Amino acid sequence: MLVTRGRIALPVIVVCSLVFSVIAGISYQGYRAAQQDARDVMKSATSEIDGNLASLAHDAAGLKVVVIRADRVYTDSGGKTLDETTRTALIASMTQAGTSLVQHEQSRDNLQATLDDATQKFISSLPWPPTALGVAQDLARTPDVSDASLIAAATELIVAITAVQTAEIAWQVEQARIAAEKAAAEAAAAEAAAAEEAAREAASRSSGGGTITTGPGPPPEALATDPGFNVEAYIASIAPNAYVSWIPGLCDGFYICGRAQVGGIPTTPVEIRLDPNLREIYSNRLGKSVLTHESAHARQWLYYDGSIIADNEALTGLSGVAAVEYMADCATIVILGYSTGTYTSSCTSAQLAAASLIW
Ligand SMILES: [Zn+2]
């Protein structure tokens, strides 16, 4: 019986174990499929969030580059805009960009923490697929963090940078205009100075040699000096329209010399240039003739009223400057009874009469 029962029991056991094996096999396949479903949802959700994080990081990096550029433009434009309006606006935009960056940094950190937390929970709940699937589905429902404010901040900053650069160009144009104006003013001043110089030169020429240095040669014997003689007082007494300028070295190479510098209108004071190294010699006989000759030029300039050359040419038959010099020697003879001897030592009575008119 035992044997018999054993024979009977064996197939039952075999059948039963076959049944259990099929049930277990079916159950295991479903479990794996559920895990895979959870994994698929989790993978999709993770990928979505990773994409969002990468996009935020990219836009934040882009904004930082624009902020650095804005900072450089702000620094470089100091003192190079007509007013501070655009630079003040740029600073405001930079501040706004900084705020945006901080806010997004925080949002990114929060999103990353959500992802990390869900990943932990997912791994630990994977042995029970329904829970893991719930975690994955929750993660999939996490809203994206928008990068709109990062992009808006970058756009606003670029507009502000462009405004500052435009203001810099306006400033440069203004600087160029000022420089051109200054250059034009300088050119005009130089031209006016040149014209004035040319006019003075022309006046000098028309004066008939008032600017020629009169320098007689040394006398054969030493001449007596006059210790009480005062050059300025002497000139003032015969040519009140003249004044003396002492020019050291003026007569280097001469025994003595003098130079009358005429110009302007007839009443313009005439400068008589003398050499301070020769004060003593001016007090001797020859020196006095030079002072008188130069004083005569001052009086000629006043007397002939613009026709100094023509009138003296008519009196002497000489031409140009030589006529004026000749008559200055005649005028010297009128005063002293002798001349410098440089242009003439004697004059006709008509010439002396004419020369006397200037004194
Ligand atoms: Zn002269």
The H helix count followed by the E strand count for the chain is 10, 3
Q: How far is the CA of 193 from the centre of ligand 1 (A)?
A: 27
How many other β-carbons are positioned within 10 Å of the β-carbon of residue 270?
25
Strand boundaries in 26-169, DSSP class E: none
Compute, in angstroms, the gap from residue 327 CA to the centroid of ligand 1. 9
Q: Which residues have CB less than 5 Å away from ligand 1 (the ion)?
A: 214, 325, 328
Angstrom CA distances, 350 to 308, 327, 337, 359, stand at 17, 11, 15, 15
DSSP state of 343: S
How sure is the predictor about 5, in pLDDT bands with cuts at 50, 70 and 90? Answer: very low
Taking the centre of ligand 1 as the mean of its atom positions, its distance from the CA of residue 95, in whole angstroms, is: 82
Distance 294 CA to ligand 1 centre (A): 6
Expressed in angstroms and rounded, the spacing between residue 267 Cα and the centre of ligand 1 is 19
DSSP letter, residue 84: S
pLDDT at residue 21 is higher than 60 = no
- DSSP string for residues in 132-162: HHHHHHHHHTPPPPP-HHHHHHHHHHHHHHH
pLDDT top residue among 117 and 190:
117
Tell me if 290 sits within 8 A of 256, measured CB to CB.
yes
What separation in Å is there between the alpha carbon of 135 and the centre of ligand 1?
119
Separation of CA 287 and ligand 1 centre (Å): 13
328 alpha carbon – ligand 1 mean position (Å) = 6
Q: What is the Cα–Cα distance from 244 to 108, expressed in whole angstroms?
A: 92
The pTM for the full model equals: 0.49
How many angstroms does the Cα of residue 296 sit away from the middle of ligand 1? Answer: 8
Quote the ligand 1 centre to 297 CA distance (angstroms): 7
CB 223, CB 286: distance < 8 Å: yes
Q: What are phi and psi of 80, to 5 degrees?
A: -120, 25
332: left (phi over 0), alpha (psi -120 to 50) or beta: alpha
Q: What is the mean pLDDT of residues 277-294?
A: 94
How would you write 186-214 as a 3-class SS string? HHHHHHHHHHHHHHHHHHHHHHCCCCCCE
C-alpha 224 to ligand 1 mean position (Å): 23
Q: What is the pLDDT of residues 223-270, one digit of tens each?
A: 888 999 999 999 999 999 999 999 999 988 888 999 999 888 889 999
Give 44-76 pLDDT, tens digit per residue. Answer: 999 999 999 999 999 999 999 999 999 999 999
Q: 112 CA to middle of ligand 1, Å?
A: 104
Residue 325 CA to ligand 1 centre (angstroms): 5
pLDDT tens, position by position, 76-133: 999 999 999 999 999 999 999 999 999 999 999 999 999 999 999 999 999 999 999 9
Percent of the chain with pLDDT over 90: 74
Predicted pLDDT at 26: 54
Ligand 1 centroid–CA 253 distance in Å is 18
pLDDT band at 20 (very low <50, low <70, confident <90, very high): low
Question: Phi and psi for 303 in degrees, rounded to 5?
Answer: -75, -45
The residue among 3 and 235 whose pLDDT is bigger is 235
Q: Where are the domains of the chain?
A: 16-179, 231-356
Gap from CA of 222 to ligand 1 centroid (Å): 23
Residues 214, 257 contacting (CB under 8 angstroms)? yes
